[in-house]
Amino acid sequence: MSERVVLAYSGGLDTSVAIGWIAEETGAEVVAVAIDCGQGGEDLDAVRRRALDCGAVEAVVADARDEFATEYCVPAIRANALYMDRYPLVSALSRPLIVKHLAEAARYHGATHVAHGCTGKGNDQVRFEAGLAALFPELRVLAPVRDSGMTRDRAIAFAEDKGLPIDVSRKSPYSIDQNLFGRAVETGFLEDIWNGPIEDVYDYTRDPAEPREPDELVITFADGVPTAIDGRELTPLQVIEEMNRRAGDHGVGRIDMVEDRLVGIKSREVYEAPGAIALITAHQELENVTVERELARYKRGVDQRWGELVYDGLWFSPLKDALQGFVAEANRHVSGDIRMVLHGGRAVVTGRRSETALYDFDLATYDTGDTYDQSAARGFIDVFAMPGRIAGSRDRRATR
């Protein structure tokens, strides 16, 4: 039997051409693996038929939307994961899920290689290959676009010559990656960082400047996991889908940034992640209510590092696993409701309530009924300020 190559298959030009390209270059049989992470578009049956029509000996398609929402998006929400304090890891979160399915397919089909369609400039090549190295280190990796000179022009010529059943005449001015958690847009005129994005860049969000009535809702969390909207119990997938729709209707989650890629270059990226931004905003505020001060301060650093590891393709690393355990423990009391208003491109928290809140009205109030002992403040300040007072006295003596 010929060697087999498992290909991460999207159904587009590059990976469709890669099926025949790999077969010609290596003599191997290609098994195409397509994973639905909520990116929309064609149904899985159509994607599977295209892969087979392009020469794959087998095509594996999987609806992984629930898995993606529960096992990847929810941990990101609990970690308030925003790379460079802005980007909610849209593409970075889906890659380890795809890698997991690629490794499983490689074992099942007895493959010796895994192939992907990433370029040599992006982060995804690292995410795929570092993830595969952790899960199935014996596999070798093929990267036709990066390593074999498979440019777009050559891919189109190959598709036309072989009569492949894909549309090669239409070329979007953008490179787009999307899934349940958001949408990433780059290249084209956006590569000039002075150019502002225009409305046709966006798909998940409406123009926030359009007049419309605000949308008020209540999001319920249990241990940091969103479980309901307006009192209706929902799965994580359903929560994210509804928040994408409702926050997207108000233009929430548009991000235009110059990003530090792992490979060392800066890249201009436009993102829209309405559900992700709204849910992270709500979760952060509920943490403010329920998480003790020192734990909250420490968790902010853990959250940042967790996001950096995921962005860098180290989902399966020991450090990321350990930090995720910390994040889960820190979310043990993050339960309750957040009221939020969606309007004009913003998700604004207007109310909080929780049975596990650390907010004590009687301590916080300035009105009658205040139980805070203000007389204790003087002694506290004396002790708290003592190191600075001693250091200041030393410095003054030294300057005389």
Is 14 assigned to a binding site?
Answer: yes
Q: Is residue 393 annotated as involved in ligand binding?
A: no
Q: What is the pLDDT of residues 90-149, one digit of tens each?
A: 999 999 999 999 999 999 999 999 999 998 888 999 999 999 999 999 999 999 888 877
Question: How far is residue 224's CA from residue 23's CA, in Å, rounded to a whole number?
Answer: 47
- 10 assigned to a ligand binding site: yes
**171 pLDDT tier (thresholds 50, 70, 90):** low
Residues annotated as catalytic are: 14, 95, 124, 175
Contact 68, 97 (CB under 8 A): yes
Q: Does residue 244 have a known ligand-binding role?
A: no
Assign 3-class secondary structure to the chain: CCCEEEEECCCCHHHHHHHHHHHHHHCCEEEEEEEECCCCCCCHHHHHHHHHHCCCCEEEEEECHHHHHHHHHHHHHHCCCCECCCECCHHHHHHHHHHHHHHHHHHHHCCCEEECCCCCCCCHHHHHHHHHHHHCCCCEEECHHHHCCCCHHHHHHHHHHHCCCCCCCCCCCCEEEEECCEEEEECHHHHCCCCCCCHHHCCCCCCCCCCCCCEEEEEEEECCEEEEECCEECCHHHHHHHHHHHHHCCCCCEEEEEEECCCCCEEEEEEECHHHHHHHHHHHHHHHHHCCHHHHHHHHHHHHHHHHHHHCCCCCCHHHHHHHHHHHHHCCCCCEEEEEEEECCEEEEEEEECCCCCCCHHHHCCCCCCCCCCCHHHHHHHHHCHHHHHHHHHHHHHCC
**Does the annotation flag 127 for ligand binding?**
yes
Report yes or no: 76 and 163 within 8 Å, Cβ to Cβ.
no
Q: Which of 39-48, 49-58, 180-189, 276-285 has the lowest mean pLDDT?
A: 39-48
User: Tell me, what's the pLDDT at 369?
Assistant: 85
What is the distance between the alpha carbons of residues 84 and 65, in angstroms, rounded to a whole number? Answer: 26
pLDDT digits (tens, 9 = 90+) for 327-347: 999 999 999 999 999 999 999
Q: Is 375 annotated as a binding residue?
A: no
Question: What is the band of 167 on the pLDDT scale with cuts at 50, 70, 90?
Answer: low
What Rg value do the Cα atoms of the chain yield, rounded?
A: 25
pLDDT for position 151: 73
Sort residue 13 into left (φ over 0), alpha (ψ -120 to 50) or beta. Answer: alpha
**266-322, pLDDT tens digit by residue?**
999 999 999 999 999 999 999 999 999 999 999 999 999 999 999 999 999 999 999
Whether the Cβ atoms of residue 339 and residue 354 lie closer than 8 Å to each other = no
Question: What integer pLDDT is reported at residue 2 of this predicted model?
Answer: 82
Q: Is 8 annotated as a binding residue?
A: yes
Residues 215-247: tens digit of each pLDDT: 999 999 999 999 999 999 999 999 999 999 999
Domains observed in the chain: 4-171 (3.40.50.620), 176-291+333-353 (3.90.1260.10), 369-398 (no CATH)
- Which residues make beta-bridge pairs with 34? 61
